Structure formats: C-alpha cells, structure tokens
Structure 1
C-alpha cells in the first residue's frame, strides 16, 4: 500500500535538470533519494543516508549509532515505514538506531509534514519510507553485488540482491537480498575511540503473485547487529566522570582492534509481512497488510566475576500490525480513502539479568480509523483527512530497593506501572497549486499526537547504551502537535529551487534535560537526566537549490534552520540542531567506454548552537566547524551489465570537531578522515 505513494520532489540527473513538472500530484511536502544518491551512500546508516536532504539531521550516540532528525524532532516522533510496515522496535532511546538495512532500498522518501491522519500516531514529526525494488519489474533474472571498504575503522561491507520472475509465469516475482558489515575501532582526528566496533548481518526474501484483479505479496527480513559502546562514556567515580567531561576526550589510549566488549548492544529484529490488494471494479480497490515484528534487545555492561556474560537489559517486543484500506475513485479528479490501522504489542523483560529493569513489562493496543478525501484538477489538488485513535497501555514492573542504612543489606521490591488510556482526533488539510509554468506552491496543515512511551513514563535507572541515568515521570500526558508547512518550488532546464517554511506548536512536548548532578550505581557514575514536559514551538526553513553552471558543471546547496523554544518557561530547548549549510560542485566527465563519470567536491558548515541556556548542560555546545569531502566515480556498461566504481574522502582535512547532536560529545570528538571505495556490479 505505502510503496505506491509517490513524491513530488524532482531530482537532478547527472548533468542536466528535468524541467517538466508532473501534473498536480502528492500534496505532501517530501523529498526522495534514489539512483546515484543511494549508490554513493552505500555502507552508511539510515540516518547518515538521509542527512543529504535539507531539514534532516542526525542524532548520534558515538560513531556506531545514529537516527534521523526532521525539523528538530526524532525517535518516537518520526514514523519509519519498512516496506509498508511501521517499524516497531525498542526505539525509546536516543542511542537506539532504527533496525533497517539501507542496502535493501530502491528509494527512500522523507515526508516533512505532520502526517498522523494517513500513517497514524507518532508521525508528529514526519515519516521516513524505505521502499525496496518492485518484485515484478523487469524480465527474467537480475541482480547486483557490491562491496564498500572504508579506511577509518577498517570496515568492509558486502551486499547482494537477486530478483526475477519465473519462466513462462511473469506474474510471479521474487527477490532475495543480504548484507554483512564489519568494522573496528574508529579514529577521531588524532586518537582511537575505544570499543566502537560493529558487526551487522541482514537478509530478506520476498515473493508475490498478481492477476488482472488482484496482487499478493509475502516478505520476511532479519536485521541483526552487535555494536560497541564507547568506553569513555562509562566511569567509576564522580571524580572520574568529572575529569572525563573536563578533558573532553578519552583519558586512556586505545589502539585499533575489532573486539567488541562490554559495554555493548546486541539487537535482532524480525519482520514478516503478507499483503493483498483487490480491484473491486467501478474504480474501487481494497487492500490489506498484516505485519509481525519481533525485536530482541540485549545490552551488556561491566559486571563482576561470572556475571560479565549476563545482559544488564534483556527485552523482547512482539508487535502485530494490521492496515486496511478501501479506496473509491472517480476518473482522475476524485479519490476517497477509508482506512483502519491496528497495533498490538507485548514487551517482556527476560528474567535472569540480576539487575533492575529499565522499563517495565507492558501490553499496548492501538486502533485508528481515518478518512481522506482528495480533489484534483489540471492545476491544483486539494486533500482533507480526519482520524480517530485510541490507545490502551498497561505496564507492570518492579525495582529492587537497597536500604543503605541497614547493615544486613536488606532488599525490598517496589512495584510500579498501571493502566493508561489515550485517545485523540487528528486532521489534515493540504493543497498543491501550479502557479506558473515553472512554479508550484504546496501548503500542508496537520494536527498530530503521540502518547508517551514507556521510558518517558517509568524509567528510573541506568540507560547503559547512552551512559546516562534517566528518570521518567508517570504523570506525563500525550503530546499534541500542530504543524503548518509551505513549499515553493521552481524548476526549469538549468535551475531547481525548493524553499520549505514551517511552524509547529507542540502542547505537552516531552524531552530530557540534564539535571547537572550525577548518580552513582554499582557499575559506575553517570550524568543524571530527567524527563520533563512543556509547551514548545519549532519554527524554521529549508532551502534546496541545484543549478547547471556550465554544460558539465553543476552546483547544489542545502540550507537548514530551526528555532525551538520552551514556551512555558521562556527558554531555549536543548538538543536542537544548529544551523547547517551543505554544498557541492560537480564536474561530469566524458570518456570512451565510460558513462556518468564525475568528480565532486563538497563542503559542510555547522554553526555553533547559540540558542542555548547557559549553565543548563554539563558542557556548553561545541564550536562551529567546516568539513570538506571529495568523491569521484564512473560506470562501465556492457550490454545489460554495469560496473560502477566510486571513491571518496570524508573530513578531507582531518578536522577535529564535535557535533552538538552527538550524545558522546561530553567524552570524545567525532570521526576523523575516512577514505572509502565502493564497487557495484549489476547484471
């Protein structure tokens, strides 16, 4: 169902720019990555792939974990669709990366509006759609193999995909895919970051059958990763952690190795999907998608004796999703959609950790009904939607309480949790209008909401992956967001410009703020963060421009600005992206036997985050920084086969810097120079 959505964003070809606007299409304000842009980002995480889009940043926890940020919002406010199924994992932490293999994607779409009506709660900040290749496209059998090698971390990534149709039965399609990645300790400009290795093994399979009136598809994938957590984020005493933060970089010297030891994470995510679509006649269609996901998260910390092999956190989240759509059209000017989304979840702490649970066991049931009406003419398109959601959340957990005054070392158990109900009505109104030959205006207003997550309500302990001690608030209420975003697009043969301006108000915005104290546990001492709630505003703009300067030289620039305020207290909000400019100059080359040859030089500027409350964090925001990169590549085509090679250098001048959105900036600098080589063969 979701894979059929299309985007209005117009992408540059290798040299020229397509200057023809499609007829009034999607009223969502979105951007699409595909083709060359995906090829040159192979081997990167989902967050790093998407950051080339204006308005998208990356929230990092060291070098091994990243997640996308859209207009200052992230985590449970960004709904991620993996092959049409909303991704449901243990995503409640800033250091919990999405369990998706970007190498499976044929294209990725980022929707920047508050799209709660169509996609459900938790789309308050936007939607990311990861869409694999169509299993019915092409004739016969084809595929690809690729390898990515990177010097920093001495990483190697290999991937392969094979797809096709059966001989004599073109209406039966299939696809298999897999990837493996191994990386060791990465290096900043002048020192190694201890325990930053990564192992990742992923695979998927899909099969489908279609008739004149129906189509059916089955899909399965597994994502599994083991990753190290920076040693420097874990300290033994209050004096030790204060010294680490004061130094701003590791006190110890680490060399290179591939070992991954505690603290570390081990995550395995299974996704199974079956879908069916029927043509009911009279321009009516019915579609059904069922998905099952099992997310198993283990986190390991420093422990004494034979407990080292025991996880400190061991969680299994089982999720069932059901999407039903009924669509009624009338020629090309009218479309009405009725739908239902249901989600049932059971989260279980596996016994045997011999540690307090960070979040409780819980059951969650969500149901939503929606209706969307679309009208369309030659030059404009109008869409209106209304939705109602209900959520039941039932939690039950316990903690061990140690009586420090009792010399016998007595231990008591504290039970916590309870049942909560959340419900809300949301709506959206959007319009797209072709102003002139090359101009289009899109406006989207959405009302969205999000119920609080388990960690925001009940956490009271060490968040091992983040190296933080977090305390939730059981009285936290649902967030309610109102977002108005407007886009002006200009497209001609030599110039493409898009300006997005937005304003968003969020009632009961949930966030963590540093407590500026430390909490000591049996495993060490950690900065203390508390969950708070306030009314907040987000105002900003994104500019994306591409132009052809000469016949073989093109220039691109992205600018992203966001301003966020705590309206209840008249303060700035913490952990909001700083102003950012990304630009590149590309020269296309022409050689016999080669195609799409190019050389590209890029530059990124990230300003210091000056919209910050002095004394509200353990360290002030880091200074502004400039990064430069280079890339060159070409394709060699032989009949239906194609070999592509590109090489690149990130952080060309080995700049020593810190990013405000890296949660480990307290203890270390970001990654230094990285030389990479990508080779892909398509057949």
Structure 2
C-alpha cells in the first residue's frame, strides 16, 4: 500500500468520455524501478520528486513518471529512509532501473528522516501524496481521507465530518500533524478535525492498533499529516489559486511560496481563505449553513551537516452556521419533523451566518530538532504548544444571543524525545512523551458549561525492535502509559461535580511482512491499545447544536481496552495493483452515545436526549482495492469495504457503523498540453440493515443510493517554470436526493445536492 492513484479534479461530458475511451494510447510515461543496490530487492515507498510533482514506488519498486512532467528540464530526486538519495537529470531519464545504496556515512537523507518517514512495511495503511491533495484548493481532511479504502466519515450536517477507520471514529482515531497530536476533539468528537488537507505534503493512514508508538487513543488507527518538505538549496516556487463552487456559491483563494535564501535555510508560507452561503440538497436549501474559514501555515528550517532545526506554526479560524432545521420549538414539532425527515419551510439563499453558529480558532506551534551520528544513531526532540478556542452561539432571550453559550479554551503542551539506530538487519527505536492539557470555560456566559474545567497530564515510554532481511521483516514493541485527570465543575443545580482519575496501562504489538514473490507480499499485525474516557464522555451536560442533540455523560465509564488483528495481501505489477485487508477487533468498555427515547427542553427548543454508554464490542471487516492501468492513458480503480459491529454479550448491532460501500473511477489522460485528464466516478452505498432500531431515533435506515461524478483538469505550460492549471468537477452529477446513515442530520434533512466547482491556479 503505497501510492493511492487518484488524479484529482477532472470533469467533462459523459458522452465525450466514452468516445475518448476508444482511443489507443502510446507510451507517455517513464518506468522508473528502484532496487536495493546490495540485494537487488525492490524498494517500495521511495519518494521521487520532479519539480512540483511527487511520486511513490509501489511494492515492485516501480513508479510511472509522466514524460510531460519533465518538460523544461530539472532533475528527478529520489529519497528513502536509510538510503543515500539520488538525483538524475531529466534529459538523461528514460525507462530505467536505479540502485539505491544503504546510507552509512552520508547525511543528506536527514531531510527525509526529519519530516517524513514512509510507513514501515510491517504496518498496514495507505499514503496520499501531495499531487493527490493539491487538485482542489479547498478540501477538508475528511474529504481527502475518503480516497483511502476502509475510511469513511460521520457528519453532523453540511459541514465537515470526522473520519471513520474500520468503523471507529472520534477519540479512537489519533491525528498527528507534523509530529504533534491534535487535541481539540477532547471537547466533543462532533466538532470535526478543522484541518486543511490542501496544505499537506503527505498524509499517511495507519489502520492497525498503533498505541505502542503513538500512545493512547489509537484504537482505530492513526492519521499522520506531514507538511511539504522544505526546499533546501532549491529555487523559489509558489502558486496563487482561486476556486468557485455552485452549491453554497462558495469562493476560495489559496497562496503558497517556498524558497531557500541559503543552502542551509529554507522557508514555506501557505494561506487559504474560503467563504460559502447556504448549502442545498437536491430539492431545497439548508438555511444557515454558510461558513467562513481561514488557514495560515508558516515553516522555517535550518539544516546542517549532522542535523536540523525546524519551526512550524499554523492558525486555523472556522466560523459556521448551524442548520435551522435542527433547532425546533417543541417536543411535538420535533417528533413531527423527524417523521417528515425534511424542513417544512425554507428561506431564500443567504451568505450571512445567523444564530445558532459556532466558531473555532486553533493555534499550533512546533519546534523540532534532530541530530544524527553514524555510531550513536538519530536523536530527535519535538516541543509543541496548542491553543484551541471554541465558541457556540444559540438562540437566547433578551438580546443575549451574541453572548456564547459555550466558550471553551484548551491549552496543550507536548514534548517527545525519540532515539533510533540501525545496525545490520536490526533496528531499534526508543521514545518517550509527555502531554499537559488545561481546559477552562469562560465565565459570564449565563449557561452551565458543556463540560467541567479540567487538567490532564499523561506520559509514556515505548521501545520497538525490528529485524529485516531481503524478503522478511519482523517488528515487536511495547509501551507503558500513565494518565492523570482532575475535573471540577458546577452543574445545573449548583452542585459540584467531577473528581480525579488515574490510569495506568501496558500495550504491545507484533507484526510481520513477507514477500511471497517479488510482486506479492503479505503483512500481518497484532496489537493492543487503550483509551481513557474523555471528559466529554464522563461529564457532558448540554446541547450539541450541530447534531441537534442534548448530551449527557456517564462518570462511571472506564477505559476502553482493545485487541486488533489485521492482515493484508498486496499484489503489484506495472499494469495491475490489488490489495485485500481483513481485520478483527475486540474492545472492552466500548463507549458510544445512544438515544434514551426522551427529550430535553431548553430555551431554543426540545432536543432528543442522548447518553454515553459502554459495552463489550466486536468489530470485523474486509476492504479491497484494485487499480488497473488499461493503457498508459486509461486507468480504472475500484475500492470497497464492509464492516460489522456487535455487542459481544447480546449480539446487538452497534450504532453508526458505516454500511457497505463501493467506489469506482475511470480516468483518461489526453495528449493535450502537459497533464490533461478526464474521469468518471461512481459511488454506491448500501442500506444499513445491521442496526438496532432501539439505538436510533427512527426505526429504519436510509435506502441505498448511487452517486455519479465527472472531473476534468489540465496543466497549460507558460514561460519557463510557470504554468496554469484549470480544474472542473461535478459531484452528485444527477442531483440525487439521498441520506447517509452516518450523517447525524439525516433526521431533519437530506444530504447535499449537485456541486460544480471550477479552480484556476497559477504556478511559478
């Protein structure tokens, strides 16, 4: 599982696409094969860079580099952890085999080690490259992750959702950005990730139980977001882009600039802004679903002979309206609206954001240093600080709507120290980390805080040992974690609540990777994981306006403890790549929220009452993907998966488990300009028949649905290194009216209708 073949934003008429599919194709790509210079074995996940483009070798060590990408000269640069990098002039590049030598005294590979370590062969996961991510200007993290098999989403309406890996989501999915754990979801998993995927250089999705390396909360997997590599010693490059979307009449702008004033110093600046009005389904508007978002990334680095120091800062500001249809006046009206499943009345389109609304501001500052010694190994230190502010505004009497009902601030500090060294076929890694969080609510809101103020302190120590030969890789590790939690709050009746919690846990993992044939590999992993209940699950008491729910926690909840086994078999050749993954996971103390059947009334209306509960759960599933290069110009990709979840004691179905889904894409490259592509996509989502009506507000799941999409894009060369890219996409082409089972707003409205987007980007 290396490169995820996804050609970004493309759109054209269906009849034109079928005509073009009959064209014969001549060879338009260089076949670059990368092997180990000593044992002649293929090297997967080698990073190849040519200008602005990034490619990854597959399991056979093969990457297809379009010949058009080399227009204008330049060099193909390859890098891989533990190997000496190479650089080849484009003029001499043809179908070729490159032999990479293991690094011994050469330190140039520090650049790759510092920022981006490709997923180890013993881990089961997928990689999304920068080329896949930069096709659209405004793309949130969850949208990008649905390109990966086994990943879906849970949404709270028309805005951003949260990723789901193998049926698990929220606090069971750990998100790491540039080596820093993202902590904002400690409040409530429905707040979303609030991360701009278009600024990432690479996203790695690990699907095993990864608590040994990454600590608690990694029961379902880990999402690792890395910024683009800083361009040490390279010329200044940049881009300016704009985007328009028909659904919500959205507008977006994007800017990036990167350079290296000195060979040892490099920088990168990235900024994006987007605005949208009311979104719409196939037949009606979703009033008050407008949004404003701004993102700023700043990176600065220094690289010496034996190490580097890099500083990263991110600011994200998101302001979104909350759908009016989920804010109702009485219990009878709420029951009637849920039964109807759509709004009775709608207002004309508006770009304004009224009450209710919520705004989140996220600051992320990271300092990372690394020192590498031939004899002592590599030592890396990462220090980080985060501040997250969440404000929610509801309908309130006496002109108090402008005062936030929820006003939370979370300060978080992290420190991680790791040491690693390779010697012969063996490699060792030892690491430790400490995390401190302080959450407090702003006084004077006139509303009891959603969660109590709290302090959270955690620390962990782990060790991993790996053995690797020509065809076999083995890995094992263990970790010990300790966590202290102290929460203090005042409830609706002026009674103090909260208290202290202490947790201590051991986790372990073992994994193996074996090449049955040069093009066929088997990977298996068995790991344990744990997660302490978060404050929101223990002591929530308040309105989740985005989902239209009233939530109550349970302070008797204990830790979740999981055991997961996952296995994958991968086949890779020059024309065909196929992968099948299967997994089993047992979770004790599985925490979920479910309706009680009652309703809770506040000033803004009545809402269904949900409570957090726990049970012993068993999840299992299968995911598969096939990518067929029919010719050098035509490719077909299909991926699908199914996950099942039950209570172990009763056999009852777990709520909000995604149903079976299948996605197909058919892409064509045209001999026009540099990179002209068109494509057709099809998505099928089955009706979820494995659900418990007693765990839902309605006794049935939405019907199955099909969605079509069309996409087209081209790159027009200008003078020198300058170019202009134009992309057009149409999602939900037939404007189908449908509901998604994992969308919490399906009780009140349908999902989004057709959206036509146009993006124009100038590269220099």
TM-score tier (shorter): over 0.9
Equivalent residue number for residue 22 of structure 1 = 43
Contact 2:594 2:655 in 1 (8 A): yes
- Secondary structure of 1:306's aligned partner: coil
The 5-angstrom pairing of residues 315-464 of structure 1 reads 315-331=408-424, 333-401=425-493, 413-464=494-545
Picking from 299, 303, 315, the partner of 2:396 is: 303
Q: Name the CA shift for 1:273/1:665 in 2 (closer, same or farther; >3 Å).
A: same
Structure-1 residue corresponding to 2:679: 600
Give the superposition deviation at 1:485: 0.7
- The whole-number CA distance in structure 2 between the counterparts of 1:35 and 1:201 is 20
Task: Say which SS state the counterpart of residue 48 (structure 1) adopts.
Answer: helix
1:663 corresponds to which residue? 744
Q: 1:48 to 1:180 in 2, by over 3 A?
A: same
Offset at 1:341? 1.2
- 3-state DSSP of counterpart to 2:517: coil
- Give the counterpart of 2:665 among 580, 584, 590: 584
| 1:285 equivalenced with 2:378 (yes/no) | yes
Alpha-carbon offset, residue 41 of structure 1: 4.1
Which residue of 2 is the match for residue 622 of structure 1?
A: 702
The whole-number CA distance in structure 1 between the counterparts of 2:281 and 2:135 is: 23
Q: Give 1:85's aligned residue.
A: 180
1:283–1:329 Cα contact (<8 Å) kept: no
Return closer, same or farther for 1:127/1:462 CA change in 2, 3 Å cut-off: same
Give the distance between the partners of 2:253 and 2:151, measured in 1 at CA.
27
**Can you list the C-alpha shifts for 1:620-671, whole angstroms capped at 9, x where unaligned?**
2100000000001111234322221110100000000000010000000000
Structure 1 residue aligned with 2:350: 257
> 1:42 deviation in Å?
3.4
Q: Secondary structure at the match of 2:168?
A: coil
Matches within 5 A, 1:568-579: 568-579=649-660
Question: How far apart, in 2, do the equivalents of 1:487 and 1:42 lie?
Answer: 33
**Counterpart in 2 of 1:405?**
none
What secondary structure, in the 3-state scheme, does the structure 2 residue paired with 1:465 have?
Answer: coil
Give the Cα separation in 1 of the matches to 2:742 and 2:297.
Answer: 32
After TM superposition, give the deviation of residue 19 of structure 1 in Å.
7.7
Counterpart contact for 1:27–1:383, Cα < 8 Å:
yes
CA-atom RMSD in angstroms: 1.6
Query: Moved runs in structure 1, 4+ residues, more than 3 A?
Result: 10-21
The aligned residue for residue 637 of structure 1 is 717
Unpaired stretches in structure 1, ≥5 consecutive residues: 1-7, 402-412
- Pick which of 138-147 and 180-189 moved more: 138-147
Name 1:314's counterpart in structure 2: 407
SS in 1 for 2:744: coil
Counterpart in the other structure of 1:53: 148
Q: Which residue of the other structure, out of 163, 166, 177, is the alignment partner of 2:270?
A: 177
Q: Give how far 1:234 is off.
A: 1.0
Q: Displacement of 1:283 after TM fit? A: 4.8
Any conservation in 2 of the 1:146–1:158 contact (CA below 8 Å)?
yes
SS at match of 2:693: coil
Q: Is the 8 A contact 1:64 1:228 kept in 2?
A: no
User: Would you say the 8 A contact 1:82–1:100 is kept in 2?
Assistant: no
Pairwise mapping of residues 144-163 of structure 1 onto structure 2 (< 5 A)?
144-163=239-258
CA drift at 1:327: 1.3
Once the 2 structures are TM-superposed, how far is the Cα of residue 566 of structure 1 from its aligned partner?
1.0
How many matched pairs?
660
1:551: Cα distance to partner? 4.1
Q: CA deviation at 1:202?
A: 1.2
SS of alignment partner, residue 456 of structure 1: helix
Aligned to 1:126: 221
- The aligned residue for residue 646 of structure 1 is 727
Q: Is the 8 A contact 1:61 1:94 kept in 2?
A: no
Deviations 1:592-639 (A, max 9, x none): xx1221110000000000001234311221000000000011112343
User: Residue in 2 aligned with 1:409?
Assistant: none
Contact 2:171 2:189 in 1 (8 A): no
- 1:111-260 pair list within 5 angstroms: 111-137=206-232, 139-166=234-261, 169-260=262-353
Question: Which secondary structure state, in structure 1, belongs to the residue aligned with residue 337 of structure 2?
Answer: helix
Distance 1:612 1:90, change over 3 A: closer
What is the TM-score when the length of structure 1 is the normalising length? 0.94
Cα distance change on mapping 1:185 and 1:13 into 2, 3 Å: closer
Q: Is the 8 A contact 2:170 2:190 kept in 1?
A: no
Q: Which residue of 1 aligns with 2:161?
A: 66
| C-alpha distance in structure 2 between counterparts of 1:19 and 1:605, whole Å | 36
Determine whether 1:44 maps to 2:139: yes
CA distance in 2, matches of 1:644, 1:36: 13
Matches within 5 A, 1:544-583: 544-583=625-664
Shift of 1:220: 1.0
Structure-2 separation of matches of 1:347 and 1:325: 28
The CA distance in 1 between the partners of 2:233 and 2:625, in whole Å, is 33
Distance 2:512 2:224 in 1: 21
Q: TM-score, normalised by structure 2?
A: 0.84
Given that residues 641 and 682 in structure 1 are in contact (C-alpha distance below 8 angstroms), is that contact kept between their aligned partners in structure 2?
yes
- Alpha-carbon distance in structure 2 between the residues aligned to 1:272 and 1:150: 32
Q: For residues 334 and 345 of structure 2, what CA distance do their matches in structure 1 show?
A: 13
1:10 equivalent in structure 2: 3
Any conservation in 1 of the 2:685–2:705 contact (CA below 8 Å)? yes
CA distance in 1, matches of 2:326, 2:649: 32
Question: In structure 2, how many angstroms separate the alpha carbons of the residues matched to 1:138 and 1:149?
Answer: 35
SS in 1 for 2:286: coil
Q: Which residue of 1 aligns with 2:555?
A: 474
Q: Distance in 2 between matches of 1:42 and 1:540?
A: 34
